[in-house]
Structure formats: structure tokens, C-alpha cells
Amino acid sequence: MALEAGGVPTVAVHTHVFARLVQSVARANGMPTVRQAFVPQPVVGRSPAELRAYIDGADPINKRSFIESVIGGLTHPLDDKDLTGVSFERATPRLLEPDTEDNLQALFIENRWTDFQPIVMPTEERVAAMLKGTRRAPDEVVGRLRPTV
């Protein structure tokens, strides 16, 4: 997304099963018009001819030629709509109030934020128990999210 913010067109390529997720992430990161192209899943284990058919065929999400989506996305200049929205006005709070695991599971299912596997709340006790199985210190930073603009 830094390239787009600098005015350089890019196209993200995903498999179609992740369409809702990647579109949601793009909106959440302030890039609702990010250029994306999709191929069918699966990709792994496909023959060269099958993969070539993905490229020559239609994007299953955008319903247009996959290769035209990619080439068009890379060659069409970014417009004002593409360049706006480098920030995101969050309508809902980032954190949820404490609640039950059943209600958390229901919330994730209702919003389709899940693969429908059980949601396990990361209580302090559970995190401490998990850390006993690692060599990590409880206060060690293992990753950082990029700052919001």
C-alpha cells in the first residue's frame, strides 16, 4: 500500500476464496479501491496447463479477464479516488468489552470473521500457559503492526 500512496499503481493477486478477507483488509487499511485480481483456488498441485488457464481465463471475482485486470491495473494511472482514503475512519471500537467465549464465537460467526473453528479468548492465564511452551519472555515483542496513517 505504500507504493499506491506514492502514486505507483500495483495489483494484488489472490485466490478467490480470500476475496472477502482481502477486500475487508483493504478497506480497513484505508485503501478501498486497491487494485486486486483473483485466480481460482487451488493453485498448488495444478499442472502448468491448468495454471495457464487461470491466467488466460476470467477473474472469478471481478468477472473480467484476469490478465486484463492485471495489465490494466498496472498501466492505468491512479486517480483521485485511488489516492484518497490513505486513512480510515473507524466506526467501531478496536477492542471489544469483556464477554463470554460463546458470545465472542457468535459475534465472529455473525460478521463472518472466522473460519468457523472455535474462538479461544487469550486470557492472561492462557497466554502465560502458552508462553511456558516457548523460549520467549512474556514482555518480548515478536512483531509490530505498521502504523496507521
| Pair (130, 67) in one structural domain | no
Which of 64, 84, 104 terminates a domain? The answer is 84
- Residue 109, in any domain of the structure: yes
Cα(32)–Cα(24) distance, integer angstroms: 8
| Pair (17, 80) in one structural domain | yes
Report yes or no: 104 and 119 within 8 Å, Cβ to Cβ. yes
Angle at 114 between CA 109 and CA 117, to 5 degrees: 90
Report yes or no: 10 and 4 within 8 Å, Cβ to Cβ. yes
Cα(108)–Cα(94) distance, integer angstroms: 14
| Pair (56, 73) in one structural domain | yes
| Pair (62, 111) in one structural domain | no
Cα(38)–Cα(109) distance, integer angstroms: 24
| Pair (70, 105) in one structural domain | no
pLDDT by 10s per residue, the chain, length 149? 566 666 678 898 999 999 999 888 887 777 778 889 999 999 899 999 999 999 999 999 989 999 999 998 899 887 777 766 545 455 656 566 667 888 888 888 888 888 888 888 888 888 889 899 999 888 888 777 665 54
For the CA atoms of 125, 144, 32, 103, what is the dihedral angle to 10 degrees?
Answer: 0
| Pair (66, 115) in one structural domain | no
Domain residues for the domain of 128 are 93-137
| Pair (40, 101) in one structural domain | no
What is the domain count for the chain? 2
Q: What pLDDT does residue 37 have? A: 93
- Residue 146, in any domain of the structure: no
34 by Cβ neighbours in 10 Å (0-12 / 13-18 / 19+) ranks as buried
pTM of the predicted structure, to 2 decimals: 0.53
Cα(137)–Cα(111) distance, integer angstroms: 34
| Pair (6, 76) in one structural domain | yes
| Pair (10, 58) in one structural domain | yes
Cα(53)–Cα(65) distance, integer angstroms: 11
Residues facing residue 12 across a β-bridge: 36
- Residue 145, in any domain of the structure: no
| Pair (44, 76) in one structural domain | yes
| Pair (101, 133) in one structural domain | yes
Q: What pLDDT does residue 147 have? A: 58
Distance separating the N- and C-terminal Cα atoms of the chain: 11
